[in-house]
Amino acid sequence: MLGSLLGRVLRESGSPGLFDDVENLRRAAIEAYQDDSAEAFDRAVALADSFSVERADEVARAFTVYFHLANLAEEHQRVRVLRRDEADSSADTVAQAFGCLRDEVGEDAARERLRTLRFHPVLTAHPTEARRRAVSESIRRISALVDIGERAAGATREIQRRLLEEIDNLWRTSPIRTHKPDPTDEVRSVMAVFDDTLFDAVPRVYRAIDDALTSTEAGARRPAVPPFVRIGSWVGGDRDGNPFVTAGVTKQAVAIASDHILRGLEASCGAVARSMTADGDGTPASSELQALWRRLAVADDDGAAAAVKRAPEEPHKQVLLMMQRRIAATRRRHADLAYRQPGELIEQLQIVQNSLARAGAARQAFGSLQELLWQVETFGFHLAELEIRQHSAVHARALAECRTGELSEQTEEVLEVFRTIAEIQRRYGVRAAGRYIVSFTRSARDLQIVRELAQIATGVGNEPVLDVIPLFETYDDLKAAPRILEEAVADPAFARRLAETGGAIEVMLGYSDSSKDVGPMAASFALYEAQERISAWAVKRGLRLTLFHGRGGTLGRGGGPTHTAILAQPPHTVDGRFKVTEQGEVIFARYGDPTIAMRHIDQVAAATLLAAAPSNEKRNMAAAARFSGVARVISEVSRARFDTLVHAAGFAPWFATVTPLEEIGLLSLGSRPARRGISVESLEDLRAIPWVFAWSQARVNLAGWFGLGSALEAVGDEDVLRAAYAQWPLFRTIIDNVAMSIAKGDFRIARRYLEVGQRPELTELVLTEMRLTRDWLKRVTESDTVLGNRPALRTAIELRSPYVDALSLLQLRALRVLRRQVQRDADWEHLLLLTVSGVAAGVQNTG
């Protein structure tokens, strides 16, 4: 339906003949995709090359709009299926996981694990969302109309007219940003996800799980489900390589988040109060509630008078109305009425709840009031726990300058950040900003320096409370992690903080740079081994470890289905706690729709609970031991193959030539620079996001699979590899993820991109490995085609691939023209940028 409406818009609003040109290229691309002959492919190439740059720009925009609509339709179908199956499906849910765990460890142990369950997604501003916010809002309006149309059992004339209006508007909206967003723009963009989805979806998840666990007693007794979600954020706190994130931005980010959550809590409290109409005769107030009322009335006599007038003889409603006023006062910073901390509000809500329960109004106590309580427990007054991140080298330079007394502007800023953290904690509480992540941690000294700088900035005794978290990113640092941690806990300040938290320690693992460092396969096994060794160290030390996974959305940055990835982790590395970064388009894909967000949270929480089941840990441990030789060969051979490619003379400039790497930096995806300040003569300081993004645009997706084909060939034994695929969740996850990555690529188009660089030996190296990887994927999975064992996914990719191919051919033409030009042509550059946005929408991956 949406595609046909787009066709009508193209006829009405496009230039003469545009619709026919779009249709001709679409048919040619489909024919080339279905026909392996060179003739069919050459016809599609010739057609794409025949357009003027102006016409090519219009055609590219049409395909880009189509993908936005196709993605909307697929998301709509996901929601439809989830709603349809909600009553019947228990697969991959917390309720199912709890039942399995109870069968293995007993009721009491299972309930204790449920009580300590924690899922901690951390939203980041990493520039991986290629859509403009204006485009996203247009898509959201179209989606709302589709929902209305479905409820009306078909597109009525009014709905169709409004859909045409919105699709026409989307067609006329430039998909390319004209300026880079600043960090506060990124903060507000993330706030939209909270306002539209998370604030209501999270308590609904708790309620759905509690309904499944407590059955007919749900809502009439204290819930069995704890508020296990905590939201983190790097937006406005991550300053590693981003000079635009200043101390002032950090302060503003916290203030914006606090304003949003307090407005949300104020509205929720008001809604609960309005529905709380139980009178004092039938539902008498407890002595604790009466005492609370007196305290609130003394502090706010105007509010008390208004509450009595509005709700005479309704004591519970009166108290809730007073609490609503205090939440509003907290947002406005009214010193006399404001809550000092969320714990104070939680305590008062519990007094109301206990009073209702004691009066026999259990459903009033544990209904919507409980959901308000869950919201306060989950979000506090800060909404998201803002985490600060900075590079270890920046800290080292700052400390050296502090010792000389000659402070650079950067060092002044570093010190100001610590003063800002202290100020945030005084106003919003320690939870608001208590984690400090050290990028490229290479020694325990890198962690010690953070506390020394905090003392210099604020004075001894005035330092903020900090959990200093090491981030291990490179292959060598992952290997050295247990030694570095052992040295860190010997530091008195680090040890004191460990004692204060009851032995809780957090360690972050970087998936992106390790993959770019040694290749995706070696990095995968290095990360697995690092987790094994770090968790063994923590168990020996008696510490409560949380591993923080710095995963991106794509395979080259640790992406892939989260549920299966959690169940594939080594023993004792999850233990009921899972923390992970959520970035760019992944944020909106997983949390943009309430139904999908609820399903995602339930799935991840279920896997987090089930990962520590004895059967799962036993299976993973046995498989890892049995196939350790396979892992070693794959790691060594794939790394050697990867090194052969990336260490070849002139590889970095060749890579920049054959992909739209340079142009990606012009897309204004985020406030963070795409490079760490150097040219593409070197890959060391190229960020992982453009590394992955550029390869996906060239339809190679090299960052997610390169080296695997040679590695599997080196193992050679198909029976052993098939056994590993069947028995070892980690290996199965790797193979399945690589298959998806390879399936989204295109061999013939990839060749055309690689040939732009005029390095035939590098072109053949990549294509030979791609061909070998495809062959071995089919052999390991015993399929005739890549993804042959996953027909639904294969069909979805096959349906959209020809349309992506059409955009790729237009992009390839623009790339060839620009690489020949000394003076860049603005029209061709615009075409290339437009196709980058379109291909990103088509393959549903950026960086």
Give one DSSP letter per residue of 472-484, joined into a string: E-SHHHHHHHHHH
Query: In the annotation, is 334 catalytic?
Result: no
Neighbours of 671 (CB within 10 A): 21
d(CA 675, CA 242): 10
Count of helices and strands (H, E) across the chain: 39, 8
Query: What is the rounded distance in angstroms from the CA atom of residue 283 to the CA atom of residue 357?
Result: 9
Task: Map tokens 């739209």 to a residue.
Answer: 660
Sequence-separated (6 or more) residues with CB below 8 Å from residue 749:
698, 699, 805, 808, 809, 812
Catalytic residue among 251, 382, 516, 579: 516
Task: State the residue for tokens 């492919």.
Answer: 41
Scored b (16 or more CB within 10 A) or e, 733-747 reads: bbbbbbbbbbbbbbe
What is the distance in angstroms between the CA of the first residue and the CA of the last residue of the chain? 31
Report DSSP state, residue 729: H
Between CA 25 and CA 48 the distance in angstroms is: 7
* Strand-strand pairing, 577-583 and 544-550: parallel
User: Which one is catalytic: 68, 126, 260, 382?
Assistant: 126
| CA gap 39, 44 in Å, rounded | 9
- β-bridge mates for residue 548, sequence order: 508, 579
Q: Which residues pair with 123 in a beta bridge?
A: 233, 582
Q: How far is CA 515 from CA 359, 372, 580, 702, in A?
A: 60, 43, 17, 11
Q: Is residue 367 within 8 Å of residue 204, measured between CB atoms?
A: no
251 is an active site residue: no
Say if CB 426 and CB 462 are below 8 A apart. Answer: no
Q: Which positions ≥6 away from 88 have C-beta within 8 Å? A: none
As given in the structure block, the two tokens for residue 273 are 């109060």
d(CA 14, CA 35): 30
Rounded Cα gap, residues 630 and 732, in angstroms = 13
Please give the backbone phi and psi of residue 549, each rounded to the nearest 5 degrees, phi first: -95, 115
Cβ–Cβ under 8 Å, residues 546 and 505: yes
Contact 437, 469 (CB under 8 A): yes
Residues in the chain: 847
The strand pairing partners of 436, in sequence order, are 388, 468
Do residues 810 and 37 lie in contact, with contact meaning Cβ atoms separated by under 8 Å? no
Q: Tell me the one-letter amino acid at 174.
A: S
Q: Which two tokens stand for residue 728?
A: 């070892």
Question: Count of alpha carbons within 13 Å of 62, Cβ hemisphere only?
Answer: 32
Catalytic center residues = 126, 516
